[in-house]
């Protein structure tokens, strides 16, 4: 067995580093208020219900334009979308590497924008969309025609198959009624991918249909924006009141909507895990460096076992988790991940849990400075804390592992 990253991946990481230094770092330095202690204030339009400010969005768009011009942004997308179908191992290695560099415009945490783009819905539209629907592919990549994702509801999150939104056929149209929660980026979206039950029973995956609903359709209303631990925020509550869409709004097939979400669930979970592992590595490295420099009671802080042991434990865990993530991503490139979904869940919950503890320890080792916004750890903690809830919460990942371990439960990933 060969545990080294393949040469093409190592070379790509070097190439990305050179690109960041040449084209992204200077832009970041010119706009440093978005990254230093003022970051939350600078990025947020407090008068617009805490949404990302136009200036912040414009800066991210410029980063993405530069990355696209250099051939990096679409690296992991299918070739039909101008991508290079780089695969899960390449994607995981890049996510880990970019997060391991700390905060920066190359890999924004709050927006999940990066020089190598995160566009989970794009491959699903490429695979299931009609020609008419495929116009969203380029729009999502360039940010000009964003498509948001509306599955979660006020009464149903982890148990999405119990959703209450209903769509009823009326001739060659559908009438949708319900309410969506945590509808990220719907505020800047041209259309919303709304999941509604059109058949089957509560709790069944079959019978849920995905509709592409233009956000200016009468009855589609953003009611409020949820303010979050990490600001700015773009996660709205949406009311669907007799929203009328044609049959052609269905993405994929009637009653088969959840297949779309299932298509990218594993890719999203491994990507998230790799980002968390990289951020954990960054927090541990920075804490070790500071402990060596900081002199307390006449000696470097690093000489104290009370500092060495927890950092050694985090380091050991980080090494194991990173290697398990790379091995799982490698396997995903060779075998349908649905057949080893629990292994992806292990990566996801372990890495997301680890990074929160690593960021907390980095805050502790840095003392009062660690608690300040002049250091990046509070921001890393606040962002990655979210991953213990979204994309399948920590408990949902463990539930998936238990299904395999004890041999019961649904076959599909939840």
Residues catalogued as catalytic: 391
List the Cα angle 91/230/124 in 5-degree steps. 35
- Would you give the binding string for ligand FAD spanning residues 337-376, x where CB under 6 A is met? ----------------------------------------
In the bound state with ligand FAD, the residue whose beta carbon lies nearer, of 287 and 396, is 396
Give the separation between CA 112 and CA 159, rounded to whole angstroms: 25
Among 149, 174, 381, 387, binds ligand FAD (CB under 6 A): 149
For residues 251 and 129, the answer to whether their CB atoms sit within 8 Å is yes
Closest residue to ligand FAD, judged by C-beta, is 157
Q: What is the Cα–Cα distance from 376 to 383, expressed in whole angstroms?
A: 11
Q: Of residues 9, 42, 137, 151, which one binds ligand FAD by CB under 6 A? A: 151
| Residue 265 or 291 having the CB closest to ligand FAD | 265
| Shortest Å distance, C-beta 263 to ligand FAD | 15
Which residues between 155 and 174 bind ligand FAD (CB under 6 A)? 157-158
* x-marked contacts with ligand FAD along 210-239 as a string, rule CB under 6 A: ------------------x------x----
399 touches ligand FAD by CB under 6 A: yes
d(CA 52, CA 225): 12
Of 142, 308, 390, 404, the residue at the interface with ligand FAD (CB under 6 A) is 390
How large is the angle between the packed helices 341-365 and 305-332, nearest 10 degrees? 150
Q: How far is the CB of 117 from ligand FAD (least distance, A)?
A: 16
- Binding residue for ligand FAD, selected from 32, 299, 395, 410, defined by CB under 6 A: 395
Handedness of CA 22, 25, 26, 28 (dihedral sign): positive
Binding mask 177-206 for ligand FAD (x = CB under 6 A): -----xxx----------------------
Structure tokens at 388: 């213990």
Span of 144-152, 216-224, 339-347, 368-376 interacting with ligand FAD by CB under 6 A = 144-152
Q: Which residues contact 117 (CB under 8 A, 6 or more apart)?
A: 64, 67, 73, 74, 75, 76, 77, 141
Closest CB 151 distance from ligand FAD, rounded Å? 3
Which residues pair with residue 192 across a beta bridge?
148, 213
Contact 117, 143 (CB under 8 A): no
Give dist(CA 251, CA 264) in Å, integer.
15
Structure tokens at 220: 């589609």
Positions in 18-47 near ligand FAD (CB under 6 A): none
Q: Which is nearer to ligand FAD, 213 or 396 (CB)?
A: 396
Instruction: Give the integer Cα–Cα distance in Å for 245 and 213.
Output: 7
DSSP 247: G
How many chain residues touch ligand FAD (CB under 6 A)? Answer: 18
| DSSP-derived 3-state class of residue 220 | strand
Contacting residues toward ligand FAD, per CB under 6 A: 149-152, 157-158, 182-184, 228, 235, 386, 389-390, 393, 395-396, 399
């Amino acid at each position: 067995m060969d545990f080294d990253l393949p040469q093409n991946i190592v070379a790509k990481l070097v190439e990305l580093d050179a690109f960041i230094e040449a084209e992204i770092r200077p832009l970041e330095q010119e706009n440093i208020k978005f990254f230093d202690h003022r970051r939350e204030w600078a990025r947020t339009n407090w008068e617009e219900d805490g949404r990302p400010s136009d200036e912040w969005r414009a800066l991210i768009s410029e980063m993405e334009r530069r990355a696209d011009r250099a051939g990096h942004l679409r690296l992991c997308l299918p070739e039909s979308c101008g991508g290079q179908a780089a695969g899960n191992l390449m994607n995981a290695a890049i996510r880990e590497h970019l997060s391991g560099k700390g905060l920066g415009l190359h890999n924004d945490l709050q927006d999940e924008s990066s020089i190598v783009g995160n566009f989970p819905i794009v491959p699903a539209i490429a695979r299931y969309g009609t020609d008419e629907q495929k116009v969203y592919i380029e729009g999502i990549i360039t940010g000009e025609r964003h498509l948001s994702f509306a599955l979660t509801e006020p009464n149903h999150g982890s148990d999405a198959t119990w959703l209450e939104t209903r769509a009823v056929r009326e001739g060659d149209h559908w009438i949708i009624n319900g309410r969506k929660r945590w509808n990220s980026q719907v505020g800047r979206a041209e259309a919303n991918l709304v999941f509604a039950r059109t058949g089957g029973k509560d709790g069944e995956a079959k019978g849920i249909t995905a509709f592409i609903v233009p956000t200016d359709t009468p009855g589609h209303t953003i009611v409020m924006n949820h303010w979050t631990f990490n600001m700015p925020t773009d996660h709205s509550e949406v009311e669907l009141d007799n929203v009328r869409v044609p049959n052609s709004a269905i993405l994929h097939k009637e009653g088969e909507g959840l297949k779309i979400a299932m298509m990218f669930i594993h890719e999203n979970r491994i990507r998230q895990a790799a980002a968390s592992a990289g951020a954990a590595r960054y927090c541990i490295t920075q804490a070790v460096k500071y402990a060596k420099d900081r002199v307390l009671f006449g000696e470097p802080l690093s000489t104290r076992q009370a500092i060495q042991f927890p950092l050694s434990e985090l380091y050991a865990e980080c090494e194991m988790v990173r290697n398990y993530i790379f091995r799982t991503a490698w396997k995903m490139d060779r075998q349908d991940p649905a057949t080893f979904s629990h292994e992806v869940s292990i990566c996801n919950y372990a890495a997301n849990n680890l990074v929160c503890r690593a960021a907390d320890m980095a805050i502790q080792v840095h003392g009062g400075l660690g608690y300040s916004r002049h250091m990046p750890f509070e921001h890393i903690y606040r962002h990655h804390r979210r991953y213990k809830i979204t994309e399948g919460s920590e408990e949902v990942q463990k539930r998936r592992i238990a299904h395999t371990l004890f041999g019961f439960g649904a076959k599909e990933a939840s």
